[in-house]
């Protein structure tokens, strides 16, 4: 949860720094007006290209939306007459495109099409007038700033967050900050600095997404084997390594389907995160690793016993599809899984970490041979 809150804190920090320090920013940046105004434009363009290369869908399309909207919300000095949209036009542009922000993996043609679609909307809004709505709606409604339109995309992203889709947080927060640029007019360079903060946060989010692709397991969210290899380069002398494998995992998949097999791995990962004094990794397939850097042997044994006890007490309720002969509907099946564990302690700084892992692997195989659902030391 703390990781999910960090973008909120960064956004709040940017808004606070811009608003409280605006007089100071004006004095410092006024001689460099053009460079300052171009900075968000360039950073957003670089961010879109990076997100496209890393195939980060929301980041690509969101970056392009902000890139197109930026000159209309904070026009370049001397070019104001070419980038004219009313606040309600901006609200409509942001609301509809944040609502329908594509989740399709980006490629060059999709991005070019999305960019052309956004530019076309801006040109259309420039040529239209809100006066045509006045005969059909109360004038007060047409003339009132349409802040409420943000509820449309906000609802989409809140629902996604409630379903555990943490990638929805970035477009929600950065969309809200872009909304703030028009909803809270500030003297120059307030809007430019807010957009500079938006572009920087989006780029950081892209780097974080790229890091996750390289060093995090997509299914369980645990650090991947590449992270394990890096972390073990400077392993301490007391380091204990536990190799963990799900018992009869192929049979579990065959009986209940691969989706429930994936759920079982996620469930195991959630239990591994709770192991005190250890960091969990996904080693590959149904095999995981726990690394205890400072724990004693007794503490490691107690932690592994507690882990196995929690898994033995855990039951998955798996609904079974209704078959033709069953008139009572679907039947829920209770399923459990166990793990076998091989543990080894590093003998000293002279022993290679690869040797410790090899001994833990051998102990894991002995745990399988001795009946599974147990921990064996190697």
- Backbone φ and ψ for 319, nearest 5 degrees, come out as -70, 135
Question: Cα(263)–Cα(218) distance, rounded to whole angstroms?
Answer: 13
Q: Is 286 a catalytic residue?
A: yes
Q: Residue 178: which of 209, 154, 211, 161 has the closest Cα?
A: 154
| Residues whose CB is less than 8 angstroms from the CB of residue 31 and which lie 6 or more positions away in sequence, other chains included | none
Pairing, β 240-246 against β 278-284: unpaired
How far the first Cα of the chain sits from its last, in Å, is 36
Write out the two tokens for 265.
């791995």
Backbone angles phi, psi at 176, to 5 degrees: -65, -40
Record the tokens describing residue 246, joined without a space.
Answer: 């799900």
Catalytic residue among 233, 251, 286, 301: 286
Q: Cα-Cα-Cα-Cα dihedral of 55, 58, 63, 66, to 10°?
A: 160
Q: Residue 168: exposed, middle, or buried by beta-carbon count in 10 A (0-12, 13-18, 19+)?
A: buried
Q: Six-digit token pair at 285?
A: 């397939």
Torsion (CA) 69, 71, 72, 75 in degrees, nearest 10: 160
CA 97 – CA 321 distance, rounded (Å):
39
- Calpha distance 330→319 (Å, rounded): 6
Q: Which residues of 329-356 are buried (b: 16+ CB within 10 A; e: fewer)?
A: eeeeeeeebebbbbbbbbeeeebebeeb
Between vectors from CA 33 to CA 31 and to CA 37, what angle results, nearest 5°? Answer: 160
Which DSSP category does 293 fall into?
A: S
Secondary-structure percent of the chain, ordered helix, strand, coil, rounded to 5: 65, 10, 25
Residue 30 to residue 38: CA distance in whole angstroms:
14
Tell me which residues are annotated as active site.
286
């Amino acid at each position: 949860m703390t990781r999910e809150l960090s973008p909120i804190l960064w956004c709040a920090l940017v808004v606070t720094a811009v608003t409280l320090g605006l007089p100071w920013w004006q004095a410092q940046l006024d001689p460099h007006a053009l460079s300052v105004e171009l900075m968000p434009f360039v950073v957003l363009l670089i961010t879109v290209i990076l997100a496209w290369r890393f195939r980060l869908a929301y980041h690509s399309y969101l970056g392009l939306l902000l890139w197109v909207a930026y000159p209309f919300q904070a026009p370049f000095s001397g070019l104001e007459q070419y980038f004219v949209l009313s606040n309600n036009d901006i609200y409509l542009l942001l609301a509809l495109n944040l609502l329908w922000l594509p989740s399709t993996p980006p490629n060059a043609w999709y991005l070019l099409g999305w960019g052309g679609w956004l530019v076309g909307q801006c040109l259309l809004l420039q040529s239209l007038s809100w006066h045509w709505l006045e005969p059909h709606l109360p004038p007060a409604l047409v003339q009132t700033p349409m802040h409420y339109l943000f509820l449309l995309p906000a609802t989409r992203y809140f629902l996604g967050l409630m379903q555990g889709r943490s990638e929805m947080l970035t477009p929600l927060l950065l969309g809200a900050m872009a909304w703030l640029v028009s909803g809270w007019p500030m003297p120059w360079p307030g809007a430019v600095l807010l957009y500079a903060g938006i572009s920087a946060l989006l780029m950081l989010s892209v780097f974080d997404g790229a890091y996750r692709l390289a060093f995090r397991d997509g299914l369980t969210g645990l650090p991947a084997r590449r992270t394990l290899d890096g972390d073990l380069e400077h392993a301490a002398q007391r380091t204990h390594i536990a190799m963990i494998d799900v018992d009869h995992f192929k049979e579990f998949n065959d009986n209940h389907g691969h989706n429930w097999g994936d759920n079982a791995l996620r469930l195991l990962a959630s239990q591994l995160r709770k192991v005190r004094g250890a960091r969990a990794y996904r080693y590959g397939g149904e095999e995981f690793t726990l690394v205890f850097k400072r724990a004693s042997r007794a503490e490691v044994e107690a932690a592994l016993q507690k882990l196995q006890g929690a898994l033995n007490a855990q039951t998955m309720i798996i609904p079974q599809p209704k078959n033709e002969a069953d008139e009572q509907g679907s039947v829920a099946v209770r399923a459990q899984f166990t793990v076998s564990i091989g543990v080894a302690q590093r003998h000293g700084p002279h022993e290679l970490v690869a040797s410790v892992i090899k001994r833990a692997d051998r102990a894991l195989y002995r745990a399988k041979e001795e009946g599974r659902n147990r921990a064996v030391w190697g």
